[in-house]
């Protein structure tokens, strides 16, 4: 193993925003590492907000994907807040989606597979003046459907929060659910946030996303803080392979030279790395 100066910095949150979408009409590149993609190339800023789908279009998919906020560290919570305004949307089962997970490279494809296999997805079905519905998916399985009063909150702030207690969601002053258990939900480094829409859609505005880093136990020594045996979609090694890996945490105040250190399956074993 090569010599490594190992020093873990203090924990800090991954953050996107505040994003007020204060750009000229027609902007389709925000210049902040996010991606605006569509199967017709039309997703762009309009009137100081993001319009995922042009008004009056059918069979259109638009996706806004944030840059990776936590490429090399685990998190144990996040908060996403944003404004949705449905007043220019057609009152007939429009769809808007919130995603956090292994977002496909072909981003518009998550319109057809919004219940992504690895991660969290929330589908918002808007029915105009009637009570509309939310459906929550985790790891590809539905966790439940929940009504929300769209006639009172056509323009309002949405807050989605996840931590060790579960998932919370509120729309304006209405609490839709709290502490919803997400079975087998363990975010991996490299997971991304995305917002998408199909058919007509609301406008998206005033977006902020913040993650909470996983707290490590206090220690003044090196410790193996995490290991991954089956790496399906996470970090790649220098050969481009998704090998298993370990994470070594330095709880001390000084860098540690790992030259001469070895890793083996048994103490004193010959099959050391």
| pLDDT score recorded for residue 194 | 92
The closest of 79, 87, 102 to 200, measured between CA atoms, is 87
- Three-class secondary structure of residue 122 per DSSP: strand
Q: What integer pLDDT is reported at residue 28 of this predicted model?
A: 86
Phi, psi at residue 129, to the nearest 5°? -80, -5
DSSP state of 171: E
Q: How many residues does the chain have?
A: 273
* Interacting residues of 71 by C-beta distance below 8 A, sequence separation 6+: 189, 190
Give yes or no for a cis peptide into 245 (omega within 30° of 0).
no
Give the pLDDT confidence score for residue 20 in this predicted structure.
Answer: 94
The answer to pTM > 0.75 is: no
**Which H or E run contains 83?**
strand 75-85
Regions of the chain where pLDDT drops below 70: 1-13, 40-42, 53-60, 88-94, 105-115, 127-131, 149-155, 199-201, 216-220, 232-234, 268-273
As a whole-number percent, the residues of the chain with pLDDT over 70 amount to: 73
Tokens of 81: 């807040």
CB count within 10 Å of CB 203 equals 23
Distances (CA, A) of 194 to 102, 191, 214: 10, 10, 22
- Round to whole Å and give the CA distance between 86 and 73: 36
Query: Could you give the C-alpha distances from 13 to 16, 70, 73, 79, 158, in angstroms and in order?
Result: 10, 8, 10, 11, 20
> CB of 49 within 8 A of CB of 201?
no
């Amino acid at each position: 193993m090569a010599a490594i100066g190992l020093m873990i910095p203090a924990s800090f949150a991954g953050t996107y925003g505040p994003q007020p979408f204060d750009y000229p009409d027609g902007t389709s590149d925000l210049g902040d590492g996010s991606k605006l993609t569509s199967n017709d190339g039309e997703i762009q800023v309009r009137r100081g907000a993001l319009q995922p789908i042009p008004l009056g279009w059918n069979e259109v998919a638009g996706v806004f994907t944030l840059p990776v906020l936590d490429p090399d560290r685990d998190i144990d919570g996040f908060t996403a807040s944003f404004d949705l305004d449905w007043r220019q949307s057609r009152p007939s089962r429009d769809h808007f989606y919130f995603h956090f997970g292994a977002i496909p490279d072909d981003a518009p494809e998550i319109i057809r597979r919004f219940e992504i296999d690895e991660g969290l997805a929330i589908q918002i079905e808007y029915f105009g003046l009637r009570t509309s519905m939310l459906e929550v998916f985790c790891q590809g399985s539905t966790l439940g459907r929940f009504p929300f009063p769209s006639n009172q909150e056509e323009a309002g702030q949405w807050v989605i929060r996840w931590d060790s207690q579960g998932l919370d969601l509120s729309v304006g002053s209405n609490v839709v659910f709290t502490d919803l258990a997400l079975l087998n939900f363990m975010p991996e480094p490299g997971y991304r946030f995305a917002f998408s829409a199909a058919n007509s859609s609301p406008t998206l505005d005033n977006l902020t996303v913040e993650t909470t880093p996983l707290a490590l136990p206090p220690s003044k020594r090196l410790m193996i803080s995490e290991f991954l045996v089956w790496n399906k979609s996470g970090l790649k090694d220098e050969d481009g392979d998704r090998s298993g890996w370990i994470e070594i945490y330095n709880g001390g105040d000084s860098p540690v030279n790992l030259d001469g250190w070895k890793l083996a399956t048994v103490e004193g074993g010959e099959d050391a790395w």
